[in-house]
Amino acid sequence: MKRIVSIILALCLAALMLGAAAEQTTNGLTVTGELELEYATQFKVEFCEGGYNLITNSDGARFLTIPEGASVPEGIDEDIVTLQMPLTNLLISSTPTTSLINAIGALDCVTMTTQEYSGWYIDDVKAAMDAGKLTYIGTYKEPDFELLASNPPTFSVFSTMLDSVPDVAEKLTELGIPYMRDTSTYEGHPLGRMEWIKLYGILLGREEEAQAHFDAQKAMVEAIGAESTGKTVAMFYITSKGDIYTRNAGDYMVKMLELAGGEYILSDLNPEKSGTQKISAEDFYMLASDADYIIYIWSMGGKPETMEAFLERSTILPDFKAVKDGNVWFTTPDYFQINDTLGAMIVDFNKVLTNEDDSVTAFTYLFKLP
């Protein structure tokens, strides 16, 4: 019996050794470790001998960072995109990605954006555009390909909205511009979205800054304790046409609310889905009118400037409990433009839910209308 066990163990060990050898032969790389991730599930980074880093995205795309002065390893798979370090002259189409890059002090690596100056709420980005260091090159749907051809970025990052314009992706490939889809929107946990800062730390040589920033934001959330306040919340927006869209129960904003101690009053609405769901006024009133608080997504749909204008958006709103109690809050215009301060946003949620005597007056990402 012992002999049989020994043979089986020997065969297993041999198989593992053959697998490791095959991996090294395939890519010419020796993996020495992996980036530790606490919440993010949509990417991984493998550390390789010689300072190389192999990045694998959830969409299957792979990227290999080449240390400054080093050469591309022989024998790597053809589908692996090689990125010579240091990376400069970047095109970043995703505004949340730009916020993460700015948070680690690497905004000077970004020279192109698909967001117009008037649409930015990040002061450092506007300052860079004022100084001529950051250029608007057209929307993600219609970038200026002539400009890109004359000054091709070394690397570009787009949100998953790129999927809606496959011709843009094809043109980038034709021009030889490597691109990555930032799939952080698929993360189930809000801190998973923010943990993508570690990936950009790897790409831009700011690993320590990225880790420190993430740890600080995570500590803010941990300090709350995530104990339920027993307060129910409705989160929604109303379009200029009067259509009501509320967050699905599986959305990251709902998770942020729960981490802040709140209870989503529409907890049975598509708990397996993220994003928003259109709902009739009648159903919304029946399900959400008793919510203790309203968090209105101001930056989407109609943008009321006064409470009177907000109440005019739907005849059902004046009868909501939160309206009668004065517990209606609005997200700031930059809410969906930044991913680097999700911890602070969760803290703001908690302040709202626990500020029963109105003693706290300083909020960063939520406000009340006059």
Condensed to tens digits (0 to 9), the pLDDT of residues 164-210 reads 999 999 999 999 999 999 999 999 899 999 999 999 999 999 999 99
28-217 — its CATH code?
A: 3.40.50.1980
225-367 and 28-217 share a CATH fold? yes
At 232-270, the pLDDT tens digits run: 999 999 998 999 999 999 999 999 999 999 999 999 999
- Residue 11: which pLDDT band, with cuts at 50, 70 and 90? very low
Q: What share of the chain has pLDDT > 70, as a percent?
A: 93
The tokens of 196 are what? 């993508």
User: Is residue 146 over pLDDT 60?
Assistant: yes
Residues 310-336 as b or e (16 or more Cβ within 10 Å = b):
bbebbebbeebbbbeeebbbbbbebbe
- Cβ atoms within 10 Å of 13's Cβ, excluding its own: 10
pLDDT tens-digit series, residues 206-226: 999 999 999 999 999 999 987
Contact by Cβ (8 Å): 221, 195: no
In this predicted structure, what is the pLDDT of residue 14? Answer: 44
Tokens of 207: 């690993």
The pLDDT of residue 316: 97
> What pLDDT does 158 receive?
98
- For residues 77 and 204, give the distance between their C-alpha atoms in angstroms, rounded to a whole number: 23
Assign 356 a pLDDT band (cuts: 50, 70, 90).
confident
At 6, the pLDDT band (50, 70, 90 cuts) reads very low
Give the chain's mean pLDDT. Answer: 92
Question: What pLDDT does residue 349 have?
Answer: 97
pLDDT band for 313, please (50, 70, 90 cuts): very high
Q: Indicate the domain borders of the chain.
A: 28-217, 225-367
Q: What is the mean pLDDT of residues 112-123?
A: 96
How large is the average pLDDT for residues 145-150?
97
Give the confidence band of 227 by pLDDT, cuts at 50, 70, 90.
confident
47 versus 302: the higher-pLDDT residue is 47
CATH T-level topology, domain 225-367:
Rossmann fold (3.40.50)
pLDDT of residue 9: 42
**pLDDT tens digits along 50-79:** 999 999 999 999 999 999 999 999 989 999
Mapped onto helix, strand or coil, the DSSP state of residue 295 is strand
Tell me: pLDDT of 357 over 80.
no
Strands 53-57 and 90-92: unpaired
Calpha distance 54→261 (Å, rounded): 38
What is the C-alpha radius of gyration for the chain, rounded to an integer number of angstroms?
24
Cα 57 versus chain centre, distance: 14
Q: Which of 25-34, 278-287, 357-366 has the highest mean pLDDT?
A: 278-287
